[in-house]
Amino acid sequence: MTTVFVFNGPNLNLLGTRKPEVYGTTVLADVEAQCRESAAAHGLALDFRQTNHEGTLVDWIQEAGAAVKRGEALGLVLNAAAYTHTSVALHDAIEGAELPTVEVHISNVHGRETFRHHSYVSPVAAGIVVGFGIGGYALAIDGLVRKFRPLRSV
Ligand code: DQA
């Protein structure tokens, strides 16, 4: 079964209690459940992870890129959280791995502080989903499938 990766960056382990007025009251396990449902609906296996560490995300992106090259995975849904706005390393990792990546943000980063308006991920992303709450993850999986999965023959 083809895999879809969903990686989450720093502080997203605190979803549900961290700034609920911005990020809502659902927890990361709820996000994982929604992603699992969406992946299953597309006949995909889900590999869902969270880390607070930038280098770990780089390692995981390289791993996901290798899986796509072997034909075992479709691509990545990435909420890099604060590293979105700071990390050249994540930009280079996605570009180097040639990994189909959809950038996701729960909040509308463009309606917030100006330091959240710039993304190092966007230039190397296949698409971007911003501001739809945790529903954005399922939209991103759908987008990956529509853009990268060849149409089934009937
Ligand atoms: C976020 C937006 C980022 O600016 C922030 O640092 C996060 C979460 C979002 O999902 O809205 O941690 O990526």
**pLDDT tens figures, 32-86:** 999 999 999 999 999 999 999 999 999 999 999 999 999 999 999 999 999 999 9
CB 46 within 8 A of CB 6: yes
Instruction: Please report the pLDDT score of residue 150 as a whole number.
Output: 73
What ligand 1 atom has the least distance to the C-alpha of 80? 13
Q: Is 105 helix (H, G, I), strand (E, B) or coil?
A: strand
CB 16 within 8 A of CB 26: yes
pLDDT bucket at 152, cuts 50 / 70 / 90:
low
What pTM, to 2 d.p., does this model score? Answer: 0.96
The arithmetic mean of pLDDT across residues 131-152, rounded, is 93
Protein residue with its CA nearest to atom 6 in ligand 1: 82
66 vs 132: CA distance, rounded Å: 30
Ligand 1: residues with CB < 6 A are 11, 79, 81-82, 84, 105-107, 109, 116
Binding site per annotation, positions for substrate? 79, 85, 92, 106-107, 116
Of 99, 71, 73, 62, the C-alpha closest to 3 is: 73
Instruction: Please report the pLDDT score of residue 82 as a whole number.
Output: 98
pLDDT at residue 153 tops 60: no
Name residues whose C-beta falls within 8 Å of residue 126's C-beta, 6 or more positions apart in sequence. 75, 100, 101, 102, 143, 144, 147, 148
pLDDT at residue 90 tops 60: yes
The arithmetic mean of pLDDT across residues 80-105, rounded, is 98
96 vs 145: CA distance, rounded Å: 21
pLDDT at residue 87 tops 90: yes
120 vs 138: CA distance, rounded Å: 22
The arithmetic mean of pLDDT across residues 22-35, rounded, is 96
145 vs 123: CA distance, rounded Å: 20
